[in-house]
Amino acid sequence: MFHRKSNSQHDNDGDEQLNNKSKIKELEDAIGPLSGNSFKYCTAACLRRYLEARNWNVDKSKKMLEDTLRWRSTYKPEYILWNEVAGEGETGKLFRANFHDRQGRTVLILRPGKQNTSSIENQIRHLVYLLENAMLNLPPGQEQMSWLIDFTGWSLRSTVPIKSAKETINILQNHYPERLAVAFLYNPPWVFETFWKIVKYFLDTKTFQKVKFVYPKNKDSMALMNSYFDEENLPKELGGKSILDYNHEEFSRLMAQDDLKSAAFWGSEDKLPSYIGNGRSGAEVAPDPACRETAGT
């Protein structure tokens, strides 16, 4: 049977929407006039995400957003080009999938067992680039992305230092709030529990609740993952039916095209190197040597 909402429920929903709009306007006024990339970044949807991350407390949301604007003004994530981080992506340890989840969200696939470098700074820069790219490719009306983390080949030797993990989590939680819909950790080995017991304390409650452990022999956890993803799209390595074949050159060409899209959005076409305009991919141009360090651990 279908149940209609009572008038009181409709009234409550309407009151909440009005209150939320009021909070967004209040935060906008509190932030004050913006210009350049900060103005483009602070859309109504953006302000809503920061408010949601701080339980609609305007003062806390304002501080969080101001911290992000300062971070973006110095780190300049929107200006990172694929050529600068391509060396980090050679093994396919992190890339944007060619499919979406059932809600139409962009999907990032992470394979920590394929770690190929030792520079934490470059690894984070690579991650930030892919986060910005995932947002660039979100369909209209969609604000979040999904993560699929495949632990095939992972060992404690592949683990990043705790300090670096904390820094990465800080960037994700504080500068990309409410961007993660769900993160599935697929078949992590039991030794991962040691690392997880420490890392989980750096996660806020909301983020922690979005992390799901999935084991191929556990029907309930697989059913949960299949409720988010069509198994026809999921790679076999992640319990699906498709074949995962990461091609670095092909992915690099795609990212070079997306660098053009990003530059058009941010109005930074004049900052692009000539090879992008000539149609060459990042894979055809030698990346920054700092990005090509081999793993030392």
Considering the domain architecture, whether residues 163 and 71 belong to the same structural domain is answered as no
Between CA 262 and CA 256 the distance in angstroms is 10
Q: pLDDT tens digits for the chain (297 residues)?
A: 445 555 655 556 667 788 899 999 999 999 999 999 999 999 999 999 999 999 999 999 999 999 999 999 999 999 999 999 999 999 999 999 999 999 999 999 999 999 999 899 999 999 999 999 999 999 999 999 999 999 988 877 767 777 888 899 999 999 999 999 999 999 999 888 888 988 999 999 999 999 999 999 999 999 999 999 999 999 999 999 999 899 999 999 999 999 999 999 999 998 888 767 655 554 554 444 333 333 333
Q: How far apart are the first and last CA of the chain?
A: 60
**Residue 288 falls within a domain, yes or no?**
no
Q: The domain containing residue 154 runs over which residues?
A: 84-258
Cα–Cα distance measured from residue 238 to residue 244, given in angstroms and rounded to the nearest whole number: 9
Task: Looking at the structure, tell me whether residues 62 and 130 fall in a common domain.
Answer: no
| Same domain as 184, residue 251 | yes
Whether 25 and 49 share a structural domain: yes
Domain boundary among 25, 43, 75: 75
The verdict on 59 and 201 lying in the same domain is no
Looking at the structure, tell me whether residues 107 and 248 fall in a common domain: yes
**77 CB neighbour count, 10 Å cutoff:** 16
Residue 271 lies in a domain: no
Q: Are residues 65 and 96 in the same domain?
A: no
- Whether 97 and 141 map to the same domain: the answer is yes
Q: Rounded to 10 degrees, what is the CA torsion of 136, 169, 48, 229?
A: 60
Q: Are residues 71 and 92 in the same domain?
A: no
In a domain, 201, yes or no: yes
Q: Is residue 234 assigned to a domain?
A: yes
Residue 285 is assigned to a structural domain of this protein: no
The domain tally of the chain equals: 2
Supply the pTM of this predicted model: 0.87
